[in-house]
């Protein structure tokens, strides 16, 4: 990723995907972000993929799929790491911190208690330095 790429304005599709994520519409978020992830040839595609995978993890949690949830959190977090603290206006550092906390809680609950996860812990993706935010 080019140094100034992280400070660029986020594409509208990323903003739409984040709005879907924040509304708990994780399947829709996946569809929106998959389109720009697959079309993007540069390294920034991993940011899109990371947000997408963290969202899909919570979709799996909702369906009591412990393995899908925890494995997607793990890979999503790994994709997000290089973009912290902020990239394209996304507070990636906060997302990593919040999603990591969720991962720890889920691992502590284990497969048999995944449905007990407190969904209020699901991250809210914060945008910084964006007009109207």
Distance CA 126, CA 133 (A): 9
Distance CA 67, CA 110 (A): 9
Query: pTM (2 decimals)?
Result: 0.91
Residue 121 above 50 pLDDT?
yes
Distance CA 39, CA 112 (A): 38
Structure-block tokens of residue 64:
């009591």
Query: Which superfamily is assigned to 9-121 in CATH?
Result: TTHA0068-like (1.10.3450.10)
pLDDT band, very low/low/confident/very high, at 5 (cuts 50, 70, 90): low
Where in the chain does DSSP place strands (E)? 86-87, 90-91
Per-residue pLDDT, averaged over 116-125, amounts to 97
Domain range list for the chain: 9-121
């Amino acid at each position: 990723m080019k140094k100034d790429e992280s400070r660029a304005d986020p594409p509208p599709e990323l903003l739409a995907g984040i709005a879907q994520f924040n509304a708990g519409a994780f399947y829709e978020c996946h569809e929106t972000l998959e389109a720009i992830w697959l079309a993007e040839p540069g390294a920034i595609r991993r940011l899109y993929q990371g947000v997408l995978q963290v969202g899909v993890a919570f979709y799996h949690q909702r369906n009591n799929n412990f393995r899908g949830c925890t494995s997607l959190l793990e890979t999503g977090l790994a994709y997000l790491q290089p973009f912290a603290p902020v990239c394209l206006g996304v507070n990636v550092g906060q997302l990593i911190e919040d999603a990591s906390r969720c991962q720890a809680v889920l691992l502590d609950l284990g497969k048999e208690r995944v449905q007990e996860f407190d969904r209020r812990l699901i991250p809210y993706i914060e945008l910084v330095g964006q007009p109207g935010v």
